[in-house]
A and B are shown apart, each in its own frame.
Chain A
Amino acid sequence: MTAEAAKKPPAHPSGDKRFKLLEVAMKRHQFRQDALIEVLHAAQELFGYLELDLLLFIARHLKLPPSRVYGVATFYHFFTLKPQGKHTCVVCTGTACFVKGADALLAAVSKQASVASGATTTDGELSLLTARCLGACGIAPAVVLDGKVMGHQDAATLLSELKGRLPDGTLGPA
């Protein structure tokens, strides 16, 4: 154990407390390499997104090649390597929502906020994302706004909801 401890990589130089919390999370998994996905989940929860520096930090602690950590982080849709906007709007594009017009919702938000699906507005306010089925098909079409699932949406209600959350200017003229 002492030899293990001696080999332990140093704390993150930034002194950011979140790295400490991440170390605790890794310790809970005994720094096991097969807990990589769990650790990435924890990291994204703490930091919001996975910076390269953060991935390197994880690689060192789990004694994994950085390529492996990067490979896993980029494989899964859930992990994002770019910072997200202050608000997120996730439009479900599952089959039930597709049949009930999710395309129109996506197009409406995309047009009004001048943002492509998967991207963030230039002012960093809104990220427009899509999901492959949230399992809320009974209330299709569904949208997740800042973590809250909302069913039976149409373009008008969604845009007015967004307008209430975003500062003037993020949504352009209709």
Chain B
Amino acid sequence: MELSDLHDIAARERANRPPVEIRCCSAAGCVSSNSPAVLEELRGAVQSAGLQDRVKVAAVGCMRLCCQGPLVQTVPDGALYQKVTPESAPSIIAGLQGGQVTAERCDAAAPFFTQQASVVLENSGKIEPERIEAYIAVEGYHALHHVLREMTPAEVIQTITRSGLRGRGGAGYPTGVKWATVAKNPGERKYVVCNADEGDPGAFMNRSVLESDPHRVLEGMAIAGYAVGASQGYIYCRGEYPLAIERLQKAIKQANQRGLLGTDIFASPFDFRIDIRIGAGAFVCGEETALMASIMGGRGTPTPRPPYPAEKGLWEMPTLLNNVETFANVAAIIRRGPEWFAGIGTERSKGTKVFCLTGKVVNTGLVEVPLGTPLRRIVEDIGGGAPDGGTIKAVQTGGPSGGCIPAEFLDTPVDYESLAKLGSIMGSGGMIVMDQTTNMVDVARYFMEFCMDESCGKCVPCRAGTVQLHRLLSRILAAEAGPEDMQRLEALCQMVRDTSLCGLGQTAPNPTLSTIHYFRAEYEALLQKAGPGQRRRLPLVAATDNSR
């Protein structure tokens, strides 16, 4: 494979493109809303109208507005249709010939679409994820060629550093620094790992990227492999995403066949192989040391850091671990230059971020905005505010490790530092809107229950602490607790946060602490309601609760 071959493939792809393309979403959200049947009907209608030479029906990735799926778009006129059914689908084809379209129109000029940015999702909803040619036609794998032929590994790392890219898994560690550390650590082998164990409930950005543009992630990983000196990559994908796994497998196979992965890539001495490891439903495996234990076939329990994976990771070798979205940014940065990327976002948070906007909001789906965009623009302009005349009470970010941001802070710019200041975190990108009907104590208990279930059991503060915190929250919620329970709750939160082994335990109290901080009145109302007469004295149970 040479650059000219890439150009040939791209040229062929463009030459074979009929004048009209009908794009039908084939990502998991729309698939559950029956898009495969819609696709079938569209193809059938094109056949029976004899338009095969003029119209192509393409199964593309996510078009972002998941709540209105299945979505269908006609190109070049850009007309977008929502909630398309197998019955209304053929009318879209009839419309091309001047017929009446019965499918429901979706306003493509609505703020939901126009206020968004496109870096990570630039190909999502535009190209067919299951065809490598479609990716190559939008300059796919060109960045990998450029890196292998024109740049030294050090220059690649420098480019990533200059771009200001920070880890999109949530913590926001500078990606360039991480790459440089792995590159300089000695090891007889090195590994690149892509964390696709998107366990935060309410987050599906990684799933969408993998289902809509899988080659983008593979290319980013290969570039990272070259930069740090690794020849083996793993994608650790959660088992709950069968479609993403299937598309990844297909993409890896195609890339291997084309010589874009494997040995002597682009006739250079660089070899890079990617294997998939499928998770088996353990939230803690999103933590990097637990994830690596799982890749090596063991129980996914974390180990103390240091040593960091960059020194001793998989099989004791230096290992680079990044999130799907981090890798998805890499090829674009190489192609368009670090200055372009650094021009997006704020001073310390560069680029864009993909969020999953869900919960009590009109438009639910995938949202990509420049970092630093005010929360209000995301929730009210793009999201359309709370449905049914409700009012937004809080926005939850960062999943079980994050916090609830109350409505009065909606003007906060969304970047790593501002969210941390409010006691939440950026997290991987889940953004759940809550309205006046949501009980914040219940929310705190919900997340605590989650952490209790998902605690791996290795360290006591997390294993026992989350159980006790859950009991306390349940008692408060049932109006059976007194003021002393509230003090206990807060003290125990601090303890679990300060003494747990890994990120799961250290951040488990965050939703509770942030709801106490901003919505103390709701807790106090429940304490009042209890009154001394109703309080049940429940002794704190022994630290090991094996009954679950």
Contact = CB atoms under 8 A, between A and B. Distances in A.
Interface of A: 32-38, 40-41, 68, 71-72, 75-79, 93-96, 98-100, 131-140, 142, 148-151
Contacts of B297: 32-38, 72
A95 B32 contact: no
Nearest to B314: A34
Given A96-B201, A132-B201, A139-B32, A37 B240 contact: no
A136 B67 CA distance: 10
Contacts of A37: 277-278, 280, 294, 297
Given A139-B29, A139-B67, A149-B32, A76 B300 contact: yes
Nearest to B66: A138
16 contacts: A37-B277, A41-B239, A72-B299, A75-B299, A75-B456, A76-B281, A95-B359, A133-B200, A133-B203, A135-B203, A135-B241, A137-B432, A138-B364, A138-B366, A142-B32, A149-B32
Contact of A135 (B204, B295, B359): B204
Contact of A96 (B28, B31, B69, B432): B432
A139 B432 contact: no
Contacts of B432: 95-96, 99, 137
Q: Which of A40, A71, A96, A136 has the most CB of B within 10 A?
A: A96
Contacts of A148: 32
Nearest to A96: B358
Interface in B157-206: 198-204
Interface in B250-286: 277-283
Interface string B340-365: 00000000000000001011100011
Nearest to A99: B359
B510 to A, nearest CB: 14
Given A41-B278, A76-B281, A133-B203, A138 B300 contact: no
User: Ordered nearest first, which 5 A-B pairs have the shortest CB separation?
Assistant: A138-B66, A76-B280, A94-B201, A77-B281, A135-B204
Interface of B: 28-29, 31-33, 66-67, 69, 198-204, 207, 239-241, 277-283, 294-300, 356, 358-360, 364-366, 396, 399, 430, 432-434, 438, 446-447, 450, 453-454, 456
A88 to B, nearest CB: 14
A127 B297 CA distance: 28
A72 B430 contact: no
A76 B282 contact: yes
A95 B365 contact: no
A137 B69 contact: no
Nearest to B202: A95
B360 A99 contact: yes
Contacts of A96: 201-202, 358-359, 364, 432
Most chain A CB neighbours (cut-off 10 Å) among B29, B295, B454: B29
Contacts of B66: 137-139
A137 B201 CA distance: 9
A137 B204 CA distance: 7
A104 B47 CA distance: 45
A78 B204 contact: no
Contact of A71 (B283, B299, B453): B299
Given A33-B297, A41-B239, A79 B280 contact: yes
Nearest to A77: B281
A100 B29 contact: no
A77 B282 contact: yes
A34 B31 contact: no
Given A41-B278, A138-B67, A139-B66, A132 B450 contact: yes
B67 A95 contact: no
B449 to A, nearest CB: 9
A136 B299 contact: no
A136 B69 CA distance: 12
A49 to B, nearest CB: 14
A29 to B, nearest CB: 10
A94 B238 CA distance: 15
A122 B528 CA distance: 44
Contacts of B33: 139, 151
